Structure 1
Amino acid sequence: MYKKLAKQFHPDLGGDTVTMQEINREFAFASAQAIKGEGNKSEEEVAEEIRLSEEYRKAIAKIIHLEGIVVEVVGYWIWVTGDTYPWRATLKQAGFMFAPKKMAWYFRTADYAVSKGGKKSLDEIRAKYGSEKLQEDRAKRNYLN
């Protein structure tokens, strides 16, 4: 099904990038579930997904207010770029790790860990999975903290 959709929606074959990124994202998620042997989700699995999304929300809330950084969700990882050097201790304390080849910080849960770093650039990862930049909503700042 993935191959059929990729042939139909790939940007090089007349499709659009956003649709292809969504197909790649869904394929990565479905592949991860298939590898783990997951089918229909139990209440415990749904509760685990909620816990994981809460981990991401808390990690973002700890850093979103930092000046000069760019926070973006790329696939199932959070990447931080920009002027991160002054904030390296804060980022590390919030659970972010530094990827020296990409010159960027990232956060992901153990479910999305990889055995070794990939060779793709951050731009290549963005192109494959799509990217959504996050900005602090100053009206809700007290809620985030």
Structure 2
Amino acid sequence: MSYKYFDIDKIVSSDDLKKQYRTLALKLHPDKGGNAEQFKEMGNEYESLFKAFGNIFKTKEGKTYTKETGESVYKFKDIIDNIIKYDIDIDIIGQWVWVGGNTYPIKEILKSLGFSFARGKKKWYYNGNGYKKRSYKHLSYDEIKNYYGCENIKKSEDLKIC
């Protein structure tokens, strides 16, 4: 099957798929000046690719492994589609979504999407895989970004690697 929006040759894990989805969502989202029909087509492609890559993950060394998660294709799409229209900073660190900037006006929206607030980091975070902290180690936000790698979506159009 050929894909109009996704570069299948660059996808080996769910992380790669999600990165491409975020990039395309910035370009095609109707609230960002994109076309609603193209956005819907892209979403359908994402759903079909998620079935193939949704449980494949990469280690920080780049090796892939398979792990069953409770994450659904619709939850991630819903989160990105709901927060991308606001003038906030969105960082993707591994499987986590971190949100910062002027989030006070949308805090109830973030809560309803499943985000929690990290007081020490002054940012909202989301991890749909039911994360439970297993150590007493406290990492700063910059240490987390350096350890897992970070993709930053800043405001409306910028897409950068942290």
User: TM-score normalised by the shorter chain: which range applies?
Assistant: 0.5 to 0.7
**Aligned mate of 2:121, from 102, 106, 130:** 102
Opposite residue 91 of structure 1, the aligned amino acid is: L
Checking the alignment, whether the CA contact within 8 Å between 1:72 and 1:80 is kept in structure 2 is yes
Instruction: Indicate the SS of the match to 1:106.
Output: strand
Structure number with the higher helix fraction is: 1
Larger CA Rg, structure 1 vs 2: 1
Aligned Cα root-mean-square deviation (Å): 3.1
Residue aligning to 2:60: 24
Distance 2:115 2:124 in 1: 6
Deviates more, 1:115-124 or 1:75-84: 115-124
Q: Percent identity?
A: 30
Find the partner of 1:76 among 95, 108, 124: 95
Separation in structure 2 between the aligned mates of residue 121 and residue 127 of structure 1, nearest angstrom = 10
| Other structure's SS at 2:143 match | helix
* Secondary structure at the counterpart of residue 108 of structure 2: helix
Query: Mind listing any 5+ residue stretches in structure 1 that lack a counterpart?
Result: 1-21, 39-44, 139-145
Matches of 2:136 and 2:82, distance apart in 1:
25
Secondary structure, counterpart of 2:72 in structure 1? helix
User: How does the TM-score come out when normalised to structure 1?
Assistant: 0.55
Higher relative contact order (Cα pairs below 8 Å, separated by 6+ residues): 1
The structure in which a higher percent of residues are strand is 2
Give the conservation status (yes or no) of the 8 Å contact 1:25–1:75: no
Picking from 61, 67, 70, the partner of 2:81 is 61
Q: Which amino acid in structure 1 is aligned with residue 77 of structure 2? A: R
Q: Structure 1 runs of 4+ off > 6 angstroms?
A: none
Q: Is this contact kept in 2: 1:64–1:135, CA < 8 A?
A: no
Does the 8 Å CA contact 2:115/2:125 hold for their aligned counterparts? yes
Tell me the distance in 2 between the aligned counterparts of 1:95 and 1:109: 8
Name the count of aligned residue pairs. Answer: 100
Q: TM-score, normalised by structure 2?
A: 0.50
Give the 3 Å change call, closer, same or farther, for CA 134–53 of structure 1 in structure 2: farther
Offset at residue 57 of structure 1 (A): 1.9
Correspondences of 1:119-138 after superposition (within 5 Å): 119-134=138-153
